[in-house]
Structure 1
């Protein structure tokens, strides 16, 4: 409603207990690194909602959400796809960084960057 939507939403799930659903198995993380703008926007909407959950619904609405991050890696063969996806993500306003192996090694000294 806040975004101007006046329709209805139906959720159709093959697994009604959500025991095999991607969301259930995701460790409750939210990422914006998709190749499709609509998926990026859905994640951004959810992230904004989670950030203001207590403000909107009260102090008892704490779901224990803690922001972390994603690290998506690619070798030489995957670099064109990674770059194209990055361009889409930035165009959609995703707060992400594109780093080469040297930058990653400095930022994450524990990470082996061989083949990245």
Structure 2
């Protein structure tokens, strides 16, 4: 149990340092990262999967649209290096997708 708590704490600390919103998650191995947009959450999950990270988007109607999120399940099998890689990939990919969204213009 101590190792699991340590791994979850590491994920939370790194996510907080990178400015990611983990909501009220504290002391749990199930950690949400709130994205706030269902479509963006789905694209982000797909991009992370391409990088070898298996995470699922939780989107509307399961949660309110502004609370769309990715839900990470931390286990004792995840090494600290894997957790660091995951949080870095998450923060970088989310930033890239948000930048891409700035250049998308709606069509009529």
More strand by share: 2
Under a length normalisation based on structure 2, what TM-score does the superposition of the two structures give? 0.23
User: Which is greater in Rg?
Assistant: 1
Q: Which one scores higher on RCO, CA 8 angstroms, separation ≥ 6?
A: 2
Please, what TM-score do these two structures have when normalized by structure 1? 0.22
